[in-house]
């Protein structure tokens, strides 16, 4: 099996240039776009993280497990063995879920974070959120 080599990008604090975050190149992860530098304590915004509602690949979270299950079911069907097909599909789903579970957890945390009015205000102040989205989420915030 081929191994996928990931390229990483290192993000540094714009204020003191301390290295803070290592993320796979060309991707955005679900997380707070506002980070606090551990070195100088200042908050800054990053484009490498976005809250769940902006994350473009939401379908993947459940889509990947379903596709994996579908492929495995097809393998079982080609082998003309329904029992193996179903078992393989279940295994495919679990493997798929294992891949996306981290992001599912990140999404749950993101939704939780965005229920805070104080946090939403901060997002707006750093222009990490549009005024329209701010209004929308404020209505749902506690
Ligand atoms: Zn800093």
pLDDT in tens, 61-92: 888 899 989 988 888 888 888 888 888 889 88
pLDDT for res 138: 95
H helices of 28-81, in order, are 58-78
Residue given tokens 């776009």 in the structure block: 33
pLDDT for res 5: 67
CA of 51 to the centre of ligand 1 (A): 22
* Rounded (10°) angle between helices 82-113 and 58-78: 180
How does strand 29-30 pair with strand 49-50? parallel
CB 113 within 8 A of CB 32: yes
CA of 35 to the centre of ligand 1 (A): 10
CA of 38 to the centre of ligand 1 (A): 7
CA of 31 to the centre of ligand 1 (A): 19
Q: Which two tokens stand for residue 29?
A: 């992860």
pLDDT for res 114: 94
- State the pLDDT confidence band at 1, using cuts at 50, 70 and 90: very low
CA of 16 to the centre of ligand 1 (A): 4
Percent of all residues in the chain with a pLDDT value above 70, rounded to a whole number? 95
CB 118 within 8 A of CB 141: no
C-alpha to C-alpha distance for 90 and 73, rounded to whole angstroms:
9
Question: What is each CA distance from 50 to 69, 123, 136, in whole angstroms?
Answer: 29, 11, 17
Percent of all residues in the chain with a pLDDT value above 90, rounded to a whole number? 35
CA of 2 to the centre of ligand 1 (A): 39
CA of 46 to the centre of ligand 1 (A): 13
Higher pLDDT: 138 or 19? It is 138
Render pLDDT for 12-47 as a digit per residue (tens, 0 to 9). Answer: 888 898 887 777 777 788 999 998 898 899 999 988
Considering the chain, what is the average pLDDT of its residues? 87
C-alpha to C-alpha distance for 82 and 68, rounded to whole angstroms:
17
């Amino acid at each position: 099996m081929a191994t996928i080599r990931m390229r990483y990008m290192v993000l540094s604090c714009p204020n003191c240039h301390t290295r803070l975050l290592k993320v796979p190149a060309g991707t955005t992860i679900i997380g707070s776009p506002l980070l606090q530098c551990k070195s100088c304590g200042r908050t800054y915004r990053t484009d490498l993280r976005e809250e769940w509602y902006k994350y473009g690949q939401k379908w993947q979270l459940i889509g990947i497990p379903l596709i994996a299950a579908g492929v495995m079911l097809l393998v079982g069907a080609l082998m003309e063995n329904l029992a193996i097909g179903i078992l393989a599909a279940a295994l495919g789903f679990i493997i798929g879920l294992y891949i996306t579970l981290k992001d599912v957890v990140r999404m749950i945390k993101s939704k939780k974070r965005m229920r805070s009015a104080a946090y939403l205000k901060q997002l707006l102040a750093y222009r990490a959120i549009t005024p329209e989205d701010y209004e929308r989420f404020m209505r749902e915030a506690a």
